[in-house]
A and B are shown apart, each in its own frame.
Chain A
Amino acid sequence: MTISRRNLLKGAAAAPLASMALPAFAQDKIKIGFIFLGPVGDYGWTWAHNKGREAVEAALGDKVETIYTENVAEDASAEAAIRDLCNAGCKLVFTTSYGYMDQTIKVAAEFPDVKFEHCTGFKRADNVSTYNSKFHEGRAVLGTIAGKMSKSGTLGYLGSFKVPEVVLGVNAFALAAQKQNPAATVKLVMIDSWFDPPKEAAATETLVNLGCDVVTTHTDSPAALQILEQKGLFGFGQGADMSTFAPTAHLTAIEDIWGPYYVARAQAIVDGTWASADTWDGMKEGTVVISPYNAAIPADVAALADGVQAGYKDGTYDIFTGPIFDQDGVERVKAGEVMALADLAVIDWFVKGVESAS
């Protein structure tokens, strides 16, 4: 029972893994290490982070070399794994899951000369930065499409845990859908896991039975999409384009693109300009990317979705613009105001129209 983002393995036969023995003679290149939660061959969370690592190799391959450890549990073994990378001579270490937060801080204190980048956490130090992605911007695009495509006006949201990332996703999805269909409601089921295909499948059937005709998932397997495909309904991919699993049901997907950030941070190490920071990139910076649209999306709906994307890229659109009411009808954000990033980062309430058990 870990809060793992164990995603789906994909890609027939992962490319033969190059031997990564730690050669002592390669002193001229700067070493950069990565700690991964799942296998690099999963097709979601870790796969996306590994793509980011490959982007670093491609962009700075003559100056840096990368090493990584996959399938690292979020317990004491993470501490050992991070320390191994430091001992192997890494000057920059990316720890790519929330559960490595305290371990990263602890090891960072032991290696003041090594810089650390912790994904989705909030604890920083002089040599520890944090970074995150505005997944909810993508969720706003999905909500726009779902609000238009749903006949029943009842949308489903398959969640994992009630953490800010998921709450933001739910709210962005619901608010965007309500812009298209003010009566739209979102039924939310949290399955207490990032990965449990049978439960994801059963939860999707349940949501469909309760009237949802478009279901989005914030869990990592394509199980929901497969159920929706069988029922002739619609859904979205999570973390990566999952259209192979559900060619008709898959409307589009939110893809996590870490490459630009990783390259920039690696470059900063090479240049000697790295400084501790808290970065929260989104569509504008290219961290959140929307997959190609399914042909089933009518042109006018696609145009609306493109509008949201364009708005995020030029800074004219923010789904968390007031008035926003919570589930009890209390006004949380006044008309015209935009929620601050600091408030978004700790959000724990759902907007009006979200039907949830907690």
Chain B
Amino acid sequence: MDFTIAAIITIVGLTTPILLAGLGELVVEKSGVLNLGVEGLMLVGAISGFGVTVFTFNPWAGVLGAAVGGALASLIFAVLVLQLNSNQVATGLALTIFGTGVSSLIGVNFTGRIVAPFGSIFPDALARDPFWKLFFGYSPIVYFAIIMVFVVGWFLKRTRAGLILRAVGENDLSAHSIGYSVIRVRYMAIAFGGAMAGIGGAYFSLVITPMWAEKMTAGRGWIALALVVFAGWRTGRLLAGAYFFGILMALELYAKAAGFSFLPSQFWAAMPYAMTVVALAIISSRGTAGASAPACLGKPFTPST
């Protein structure tokens, strides 16, 4: 029992950052924009979250700072692709280069510092109890991520604003013709995606390892991109997919630590991506509505007028 609980806690730790970043990217992609700069945004979030926490001694402010940092960085991308119609793939890749560089530059002043880990806010009786820690032993960011899955799901499916966002992503020209501002909707989606990626990055620098180290996200932004596709652009599946990826990552470590050598470690590391390609093929061939890529994904918005 204790063993399972501890394993679950590790899986939650591996899952939360990619869930947050994936959720943000899902909204961005639903609006018809492909932002490949997630890795850079997570790094910007990690350093802004850490930096703000060092100055304020308040991890809540840190998380807010990470969200603001991620959103601001994503706005550079937004201006380029929305206002100037630059290519989204190239701009997203440039954003990753930028985010990596800018986080390293800011980070020079914060290396070697530590902050208190942003752990559970529940009383120790619950947070440290051998059983109840399974539910109460996490950083508030973990609960926030799960709540946001449902909030975003509800927003996309049940609200008018969500309907507009999806319409913009599926058919920008007709959304434009009935009077919605495609550009404004996409700005907001991109900023939201940046903020979520930023919080995902802050999970590394405030919760898992409360410190700053250059390139500390180590490629998790790319897994988040895979996750969105794996989930078929659906929030429920995103949650399930994130935990599936988390379990895969933990399985690799458990298999190694337990001395199983029946599969090379590269097999485990390749799994999330390979599974995503397979999932892509399955959902696309079924062609179920809403489970395939938004029709306008990655295409610039060019109204004829």
- Chain A contact residues, CB within 8 Å of chain B: 6, 8-14, 39, 41-43, 156, 187-193, 195-203, 205-210, 221-223, 226-227, 230, 244-245, 355-358
Q: Are B209 and A357 in contact (CB under 8 A)?
A: no
Out of A10, A43, A191, A206, which one reaches B254, CB within 8 Å?
Answer: A206
Kindly report which residue of chain B lies nearest to residue A42, judged by CB atoms.
B214
B254 partner residues in chain A, CB cutoff 8 A: 206, 210
19 of the cross-chain contacts (CB-CB < 8 Å) are A8-B111, A8-B211, A9-B107, A9-B212, A12-B109, A39-B214, A156-B257, A187-B257, A190-B265, A191-B253, A198-B14, A198-B216, A201-B208, A202-B10, A202-B14, A202-B249, A202-B250, A222-B211, A226-B211
Kindly report which residue of chain B lies nearest to residue A247, judged by CB atoms.
B114
Known pairs A208-B6, A357-B261; list 5 more (Cβ under 8 Å).
A187-B259, A189-B253, A190-B256, A355-B258, A357-B260
Tell yes or no: B179 within 8 A of A by CB: no
CA separation between A77 and B6, bound complex, in Å? 44
**What's the minimum C-beta distance from B74 to chain A, rounded to whole angstroms?**
22
CA separation between A159 and B13, bound complex, in Å? 21
B119 partner residues in chain A, CB cutoff 8 A: 230
A192 partner residues in chain B, CB cutoff 8 A: 265-266, 269
- Chain B contact residues, CB within 8 Å of chain A: 3, 6-7, 9-10, 13-14, 17, 107-114, 117, 119, 204, 208-218, 220, 249-250, 253-261, 265-266, 269
**What's the minimum C-beta distance from A276 to chain B, rounded to whole angstroms?**
35
Q: Are A11 and B216 in contact (CB under 8 A)?
A: no
Q: Are B111 and A6 in contact (CB under 8 A)?
A: no
**What's the minimum C-beta distance from A100 to chain B, rounded to whole angstroms?**
20
Q: Are A198 and B217 in contact (CB under 8 A)?
A: yes
Kindly report which residue of chain A lies nearest to residue B13, judged by CB atoms.
A202
CA separation between A156 and B112, bound complex, in Å? 25
Q: Are B208 and A197 in contact (CB under 8 A)?
A: yes
Q: Are A8 and B213 in contact (CB under 8 A)?
A: yes
**6 nearest A-B residue pairs (beta carbon):** A9-B111, A10-B112, A209-B6, A357-B261, A196-B218, A357-B256
CA separation between A39 and B111, bound complex, in Å? 12
Kindly report which residue of chain A lies nearest to residue B111, judged by CB atoms.
A9
CA separation between A128 and B209, bound complex, in Å? 41
- Chain A binding surface SS class: mixed
Q: Are B257 and A205 in contact (CB under 8 A)?
A: no
Q: Knowing A9-B112, A192-B265, A206-B10, say if A198 contacts B253 (CB, 8 Å).
A: no
Which has the most chain A C-beta neighbours within 10 Å: B110, B113, B256? B256
A357 partner residues in chain B, CB cutoff 8 A: 255-261, 265
Kindly report which residue of chain B lies nearest to residue A210, judged by CB atoms.
B257
A41 partner residues in chain B, CB cutoff 8 A: 108, 111
**What's the minimum C-beta distance from A39 to chain B, rounded to whole angstroms?**
7
A196 partner residues in chain B, CB cutoff 8 A: 218
Kindly report which residue of chain A lies nearest to residue B207, judged by CB atoms.
A201
**What's the minimum C-beta distance from A211 to chain B, rounded to whole angstroms?**
9
Q: Are B208 and A13 in contact (CB under 8 A)?
A: no
A10 partner residues in chain B, CB cutoff 8 A: 111-112
Kindly report which residue of chain B lies nearest to residue A11, judged by CB atoms.
B112
B259 partner residues in chain A, CB cutoff 8 A: 187, 355-357
B204 partner residues in chain A, CB cutoff 8 A: 197-198
CA separation between A291 and B255, bound complex, in Å? 33
Out of A197, A210, A244, which one reaches B213, CB within 8 Å?
Answer: A197
CA separation between A12 and B51, bound complex, in Å? 12
CA separation between A214 and B211, bound complex, in Å? 22
CA separation between A206 and B257, bound complex, in Å? 7
Q: Knowing A202-B249, A357-B265, say if A12 contacts B208 (CB, 8 Å).
A: no
Out of B7, B109, B211, B249, which one reaches A13, CB within 8 Å?
Answer: B109
**What's the minimum C-beta distance from B100 to chain A, rounded to whole angstroms?**
12
Kindly report which residue of chain B lies nearest to residue A191, judged by CB atoms.
B253
A245 partner residues in chain B, CB cutoff 8 A: 114, 211
Out of B215, B250, B255, B257, which one reaches A207, CB within 8 Å?
Answer: B257
Kindly report which residue of chain A lies nearest to residue B119, judged by CB atoms.
A230
Q: Are B261 and A43 in contact (CB under 8 A)?
A: no
Q: Are A198 and B220 in contact (CB under 8 A)?
A: yes
Which has the most chain B C-beta neighbours within 10 Å: A12, A156, A209? A209
B257 partner residues in chain A, CB cutoff 8 A: 156, 187-189, 203, 206-207, 210, 355, 357
Kindly report which residue of chain B lies nearest to residue A209, judged by CB atoms.
B6
CA separation between A201 and B218, bound complex, in Å? 12
**What's the minimum C-beta distance from B206 to chain A, rounded to whole angstroms?**
12
**What's the minimum C-beta distance from A179 to chain B, rounded to whole angstroms?**
23
CA separation between A222 and B208, bound complex, in Å? 11
Q: Knowing A189-B256, A190-B265, A202-B14, say if A221 contacts B112 (CB, 8 Å).
A: no
A198 partner residues in chain B, CB cutoff 8 A: 13-14, 17, 204, 208-209, 216-218, 220
B110 partner residues in chain A, CB cutoff 8 A: 12
Q: Knowing A198-B204, A198-B220, A357-B260, say if A209 contacts B7 (CB, 8 Å).
A: yes
CA separation between A205 and B9, bound complex, in Å? 9
Q: Are B108 and A14 in contact (CB under 8 A)?
A: yes
**What's the minimum C-beta distance from A219 to chain B, rounded to whole angstroms?**
11
